[in-house]
Amino acid sequence: MIFSTELLIQTVISGLMVGVLYALMALGITFIYSIVKTINWAMGEFYMIGSYIQFVAVHFLLGPRWWWLAALISMAGTFLIGLLLEPILIKPMYSRPMQRRDDYATVVTIALLLLLRSLAVALGGPYQYRPESDLSVIWIGPLPQEGARVAASVCALLALAAFWIVIKKTWIGLALRAAAQNRIAVQTSGVDVYRLDAVAFAIGVALAGLAGALLAPLFMVFPTNGAVTSVKGFEIIVIGGLGSIPGALIGGLLLGLVESLGAAFISSPYQNVYGFLLVILILIVKPNGLFGERGREA
């Protein structure tokens, strides 16, 4: 491998660009955990649903020019699916007397993962699809970047900014931040905590759906396409710390960078290994993750 400054800069930029998208996924996982106190193992399947909606919207309905509208529809679609599924699947964890809540949530979300994957195979077959993209190569200085990749990263950044505004500047955001700290106090304040759980779950899966939609032209659309991305999401959670929003963002960027640098300067077939090496390193140096809490209950 010949080292050059141009290659380094290009690698860093492309690592950060994919890192923002990983961060979107990790943010969804960590956000759901911080409010509902459960890990949604079916997160990758919401990514997959987002990518399918994107494909159908671009290929059959809107055309490649309207890819951004399709991405918004994918996000809204996964949000609605989350909003409908949470009261059926996750709510009983709190609304009924239950001794092993974590076990319940794990079994239910893994069952959901299998159901959604099977549904995708049943409806679309085991094939790979790709929504058309007419975005041309974009030059950042002297360096070329794939148009779809740049567009996806910019949209992911916009989504992160919108998320920040909702969380910091709205009543629902205040209630969500409050619920992450004290579920009882949220209830004594008069918030319908079950409805809040459903909204938090829907926002979390909508972030995954958006990531799926934005990455669809690059990583393709097929029933198990969410598996790799959700594994990366969980890697980021380990790196950044479970329940930490800054951890999800920084962790996402770090993972993107490490993968990209490793692929460019060491060996590209091992791209996925570098992330795991980073995870192992973090576990040794800071077992709770960069921004993680000291421990979790139960």
Partner 1 sequence: MTASATLEVTDLNAGYVPGVDILSHLSITAAKNAVTLIIGPNGAGKSTLLRAIFGLLKPSTGRVVFDGKDVTGANPSTLKASGVSYVTQDINSFPLLTVEENLLMGAWVFRRDAPRIARQFEQVYAMFPILKEKRRDRAGSLSGGQGRMLSVAREMMTSPSLLLIDEPTVGLAPNLVAQVYETLAAARAATGAAVLLVEQNVEEALPLADHLYLLNLGQVKAHGPGREFDNARVRALVQECLLG
Residues at the site binding partner 1, with contacts judged by CB under 8 A: 97, 171, 174-175, 177-178, 181-182, 184-194
Q: Which is nearer to partner 1, 59 or 177 (CB)?
A: 177
In angstroms, give the least distance from the CB of 176 to partner 1: 11
Q: Which is nearer to partner 1, 184 or 284 (CB)?
A: 184
In angstroms, give the least distance from the CB of 194 to partner 1: 8
Q: Which is nearer to partner 1, 77 or 243 (CB)?
A: 243
Residue carrying the six token digits 């990209």 = 260
Residue among 256, 281, 259, 279 nearest 268 (CA): 259
Q: Which is nearer to partner 1, 168 or 286 (CB)?
A: 168
What interhelical angle do 67-89 and 147-169 show, nearest 10? Answer: 50
Q: Which is nearer to partner 1, 145 or 187 (CB)?
A: 187
Q: Which is nearer to partner 1, 4 or 188 (CB)?
A: 188
What is the rounded CA–CA span in Å between residue 27 and residue 156?
Answer: 11
Residue 289: its H or E element: none
Say whether 219 sits in a helix, a strand or coil: helix
Q: Which is nearer to partner 1, 86 or 259 (CB)?
A: 86
DSSP state of 59: I
CA dihedral 258, 264, 266, 268 (to 10 degrees): 90
Residue among 57, 56, 84, 63 nearest 206 (CA): 84
Question: Contact, 29 vs 234, CB < 8 A?
Answer: yes
Looking at this protein, which amino acid is placed at residue 220? M
Residue among 1, 37, 11 nearest 297 (CA): 37
Q: How much helix, strand and coil, in percent to the nearest 5, is found in the chain?
A: 75, 5, 20
Q: Which is nearer to partner 1, 130 or 177 (CB)?
A: 177
In angstroms, give the least distance from the CB of 186 to partner 1: 7
Burial readout 17-33 (b: 16 or more C-beta within 10 A, e: otherwise): bbbbbbbbbbbbbbbbb
Q: Is 125 exposed, middle or buried (0-12, 13-18, 19+ CB in 10 A)?
A: exposed
